[in-house]
Amino acid sequence: MNDEVLYLTALKYCPNIGDLIIKRLVAKFGSAKNAWNAPQRDLLSLFRVGEQTVKFIGDESLMKKAENALEYCADNGIFITHFFDENYPALLKECSDAPVLLYYKGNFTWNLPSVSIVGTRNITSYGKKFTENLVECLKEKGIAVVSGLALGVDGTAHKKAVELGILTLGVLAHGLKMIYPHQHKLLADEMLKNGGIVSEFPLEAKPDRYNFIQRNRIIAGLSPVTVIAESAYGGGAITTVKFANSYNREIFALAGKITDKYSQGCNQLIKNLEAQIITRPEDVLEYFGEKINKAPQMHLFVELNEKERIIVDFLKEKGKSQIDVLAMELSQPTFQLMPVLLELELKNLVKPLPGKFFELS
């Protein structure tokens, strides 16, 4: 039994102690074991940590609970990695709110190139076809699929990945003693053969409402690219995009008709420059350095009007720029710049970035 995993698990069972405090404890005392065995006066020396926070550290009943949990994991093929372990997923470790513990099951290794695919549970035929085409596109390049094992877009992405033999990882909003939704139990079993399931939650944790939002940050954190296939306004998948933006990851959204409920969230993200519009699955591959079906030196043959030339010349000289900076430097109001930038985007000369930035393609 790994001592550090055991003591980290015991700390996680302590009421009032979250991942941030555990990271601070380990930083101060050198290990979870040292923190668990530290005198209370030393624990209280930690900035902004009071008696109610540390009162359960060292509790024998919680240690017994941790021992039982690790025993269950050993008996059921569940592995655990922790934030301080060299095997912890590198991209997730970059996130300030990365979980201290990850429980996982299956046949995979961390740090493979991956794309997170998310969206509504009420998937339409439009979203289903796009999601399946996107997964097919990832197959040739050996790119894994990450999603949340929910109904709809998530399930479609996982099922297509299983069908094509692509590694796929499901991030759960509950402990690994169960599978939710129950309709995906067989799917999860299939995923264990080439991929698996992962959760930050204790084994017995139920799929509470808040857990899904918390789970979404891991979906965003595990991949350099997040694609949102379909979502209504305020859909759960929108929170994944918010997290991905906060981690400075690449985000793509599938646009749809303004009258389609489950395209409205994606359309809004594109409008707010929180996601790039995706016009074909190959757009995602370009992030990984794969230029698909592009003629060489195409930029040399694109005709530009005067307004377009001014913006291109500015971005060529200054590099990536926010739209407000463009408006100020070029002495043009934002509402006049937007249609010009859109035209340049359609000509594949300019691409939008999170935070209302633009740069040359």
Q: What is the largest CA-CA distance in the chain?
A: 74
Q: What is the pLDDT of residue 291?
A: 43
**Does 302 map to a domain?**
yes
**Model pLDDT for residues 88-142, shown as the tens digit of each residue:** 999 999 999 999 999 999 998 888 899 999 999 999 999 999 999 999 999 988 8
Considering the domain architecture, whether residues 323 and 261 belong to the same structural domain is answered as no
Considering the domain architecture, whether residues 315 and 282 belong to the same structural domain is answered as no
* Cβ burial, residue 126 (10 Å; 0-12/13-18/19+): middle
Tokens of 261: 């409920």
Q: Are 226 and 134 contacting, i.e. CB atoms less than 8 angstroms apart? A: no
- What CATH number is attached to the domain comprising 345? 1.10.10.10
**Does 95 map to a domain?**
no
**Does 97 map to a domain?**
no
**Residue 199, strand partner residues:** 103
Considering the domain architecture, whether residues 203 and 339 belong to the same structural domain is answered as no
**Does 80 map to a domain?**
no
Considering the domain architecture, whether residues 283 and 303 belong to the same structural domain is answered as no
Domain final residue pick, 247, 267, 287: 287
- What CATH number is attached to the domain comprising 256? 3.40.50.450
Considering the domain architecture, whether residues 308 and 215 belong to the same structural domain is answered as no
d(CA 254, CA 279): 7
Q: Distances in Å between the alpha carbon of 86 and those of 6, 81, 111, 207?
A: 17, 9, 11, 29
Tokens of 315: 């971005």
Considering the domain architecture, whether residues 195 and 343 belong to the same structural domain is answered as no
**Does 203 map to a domain?**
yes
Considering the domain architecture, whether residues 355 and 304 belong to the same structural domain is answered as yes
Considering the domain architecture, whether residues 59 and 162 belong to the same structural domain is answered as no
Nearest to 223 by CA among 95, 86, 91: 91
- What CATH number is attached to the domain comprising 14? 1.10.150
**Does 225 map to a domain?**
yes
Considering the domain architecture, whether residues 274 and 126 belong to the same structural domain is answered as yes
Q: Please tell me what DSSP assigns to residue 187.
A: H
Q: What is the pLDDT of residue 286?
A: 83
d(CA 149, CA 133): 18
Domain final residue pick, 241, 264, 287: 287
Considering the domain architecture, whether residues 157 and 272 belong to the same structural domain is answered as yes
Considering the domain architecture, whether residues 268 and 331 belong to the same structural domain is answered as no
**Does 82 map to a domain?**
no
List, for the chain, all residue ranges whose pLDDT scores fall below the cut of 50. Answer: 291-301
**Model pLDDT for residues 23-56, shown as the tens digit of each residue:** 999 999 999 999 999 998 999 888 778 888 889 9
Total domains present in the chain? 3
Q: What is the pLDDT of residue 325?
A: 86
Q: Please tell me what DSSP assigns to residue 219.
A: H
Domain final residue pick, 75, 95, 116: 75
Q: pTM (2 decimals)? A: 0.80
Residue with tokens 């633009």: 358
**Does 306 map to a domain?**
yes
Structural domain of 53: 1-75
What are the backbone angles phi and psi of residue 181, rounded to the nearest 5°? -75, 155
Considering the domain architecture, whether residues 144 and 264 belong to the same structural domain is answered as yes
